[in-house]
Amino acid sequence: MQLEAKKQALRSLTHGVYVIGVREGEKLNAFTATWLTQVSFEPPLVVAGIRKDSVSFRMIKASRVFTVSILSSGQKLLAQHFLKPAHLGGDKLQGIGHQTGKTGAPILDEAMAYLECRVKEIVPAGDHSLVLAEVVEAGVRQPADPLTLRETGWHYGG
């Protein structure tokens, strides 16, 4: 396989940019994610690819819940704020408006829409795991075009 061709082809897949909120007990965290998609209408299911070595993945495994704050076009700086790993970034939610929802995980106040999810299954997949979850609550605050990975100029994948 030609490695450069593989990178370019995989980076051509379209991705949104989201902030996933997590909780474990009283501890909250959030991180930027791009590998998320809907996989079922009934019940409403999504799947996210999450790094297995991250603090947030450990929190998801323990609590079995997470939220997805869907960002709108132009919110690159907000997404960038949540890129650092928790062990390097400290309390990433400090100074960022958020509330906890039905699951107790954080939802960003500036999100255009959000999903609250309960984990159904976790499947190891290379350096990530696939986290399959049912959407148990959702809301739309301000309809807009979503933020995409292409808009940010970042590359995650390939």
In tens, the pLDDT along 103-126 reads 999 999 999 999 999 999 999 999
96 in a structural domain:
yes
Report d(CA 112, CA 93) in Å as an integer: 17
Find the CATH number of the domain harbouring 72.
2.30.110.10
Domain that holds residue 137: 17-152
**pTM greater than the 0.85 cutoff:** yes
82 in a structural domain:
yes
4 in a structural domain:
no
How many domains, the chain? Answer: 1
Question: Which run of H or E residues covers position 12?
Answer: none
What is the pLDDT at residue 12? Answer: 78
34 in a structural domain:
yes
105 in a structural domain:
yes
